[in-house]
């Protein structure tokens, strides 16, 4: 991924350790550790689902102060088998995070998640609150029906009409009453050419709504190679299944389990992918959290104003947790 020149990330850093962790169910996860082995433990949860890691994701934390753990979730990135939907649900991922924590001998850690990663962070924290020292959440996603309808049926099409037409073009008019289900059938279907065509269209739509201004480099990176179909398959499966939350308000309903944990909610005012109402609903149910609505910003963590807030949050937590 090509980074915008104005993005003020922390300096590049390489892992000091990598691991291949068998979590059962036929899945093996790629895990890396970055920064100071004696530093404050933190875990980074990537978006998607199915998105995988990129090197810039290491650069939101001061490597002198943090021991940063990053991993590719089931079926994503360098985890294997790539694109597998077998035993791949939110609750499998929650168990994987706990497996990694225990395997690495970490008693508790700061949890950082953006977009889908914010939902996974909440699910993990609500399941294992004693293992969480703090939460940094960006671009809030709760996978509720209204959020999915906004992106995949009616809502965002009003803001991106020409791109919406490109997105729905692979779906016959007779099936457009449920675009998400129609895509899911094709992405998981037997025709590899149709599946790849739909994956390219799906991931272009993801790229378009991820930035305030369309980013050609991001579009190219999300539609570039054979990872496109595995990523789209996982994302569509989680979306069709509502993130595997029952009821759909599960993350909000269980928020009392974590209200004692320090938290920061960072939300772009003009986030097309995860509209601000979702972050507002979370902050309303979690008034103790530091809710930051970022003006003139969209969804992506690499938008300069979002990047600055995220790094300020990790620096603040480093001061608190030292």
List residues with catalytic annotation.
115, 271, 299
- Alpha-carbon span 91 to 231, nearest angstrom: 18
Could you tell me if 252 and 281 are in contact, meaning their C-beta atoms sit under 8 angstroms apart? yes
User: Tokens 């025709």 correspond to what residue?
Assistant: 191
Could you tell me if 96 and 79 are in contact, meaning their C-beta atoms sit under 8 angstroms apart? no
Comparing C-alpha atoms, which of 140, 137, 239, 143 is closest to residue 187? 239
Structure token pair of residue 153: 């049926």
Could you tell me if 73 and 227 are in contact, meaning their C-beta atoms sit under 8 angstroms apart? no
| DSSP calls for 278-303 | HHHHHHHH-TTSEEEEETT--S-TTS
Helix (H, G, I), strand (E, B) or coil at 206: helix
Radius of gyration over every alpha carbon of the chain, rounded to an integer in angstroms = 18
Could you tell me if 35 and 63 are in contact, meaning their C-beta atoms sit under 8 angstroms apart? yes
Comparing C-alpha atoms, which of 121, 120, 158, 118 is closest to residue 278? 118
Could you tell me if 248 and 192 are in contact, meaning their C-beta atoms sit under 8 angstroms apart? no
Buried b (16+ CB within 10 A) or exposed e, 174-203: eeeeebbbbbbbbbeeeeeeebbebbbbbb
Structure token pair of residue 295: 């003006």
| Strands 132-138, 40-45: pairing kind | unpaired
Orientation angle between helical segments 90-103 and 116-127, nearest 10 degrees: 70
């Amino acid at each position: 991924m090509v980074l915008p020149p104005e993005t003020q990330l922390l300096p590049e850093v390489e892992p000091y350790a990598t691991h291949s962790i068998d979590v059962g169910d036929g899945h093996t996860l790629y895990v890396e550790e970055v920064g100071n082995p004696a530093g404050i433990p933190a875990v980074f949860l990537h978006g998607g689902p199915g998105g995988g890691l990129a090197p810039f994701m290491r650069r939101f934390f001061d490597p002198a102060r943090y021991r940063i753990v990053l991993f590719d979730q089931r079926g994503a990135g360098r985890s294997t088998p790539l694109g597998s939907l077998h035993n791949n649900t939110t609750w499998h991922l929650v168990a994987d995070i706990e497996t990694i924590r225990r395997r690495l001998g970490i008693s508790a850690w700061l949890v950082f998640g953006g977009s889908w990663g914010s939902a996974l962070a909440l699910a993990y924290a609500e399941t294992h609150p004693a293992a969480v020292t703090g939460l940094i959440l960006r671009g809030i996603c709760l996978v509720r029906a209204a959020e999915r309808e906004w992106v995949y049926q009616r809502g965002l099409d009003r803001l991106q009409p020409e791109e919406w037409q490109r997105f729905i073009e692979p779906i016959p008019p007779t099936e457009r009453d449920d675009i998400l289900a129609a895509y899911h059938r094709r992405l998981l279907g037997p025709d590899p050419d149709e599946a790849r065509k739909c994956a390219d269209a799906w991931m272009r739509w993801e790229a378009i709504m991820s930035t305030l201004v369309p980013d050609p480099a991001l579009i190219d990176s999300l539609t570039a190679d054979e990872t496109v179909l595995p990523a789209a398959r996982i994302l569509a499966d989680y979306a069709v299944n509502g993130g595997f939350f029952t009821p759909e308000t599960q993350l909000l309903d269980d928020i009392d389990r974590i209200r004692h944990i320090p938290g920061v909610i960072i939300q772009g005012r003009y986030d097309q992918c995860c509209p601000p109402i979702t972050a507002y609903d979370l902050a309303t149910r979690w008034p103790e959290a530091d809710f930051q609505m970022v003006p003139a910003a969209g969804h992506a963590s690499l938008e300069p104003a979002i990047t600055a807030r995220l790094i300020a949050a990790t620096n603040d937590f480093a001061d608190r947790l030292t």
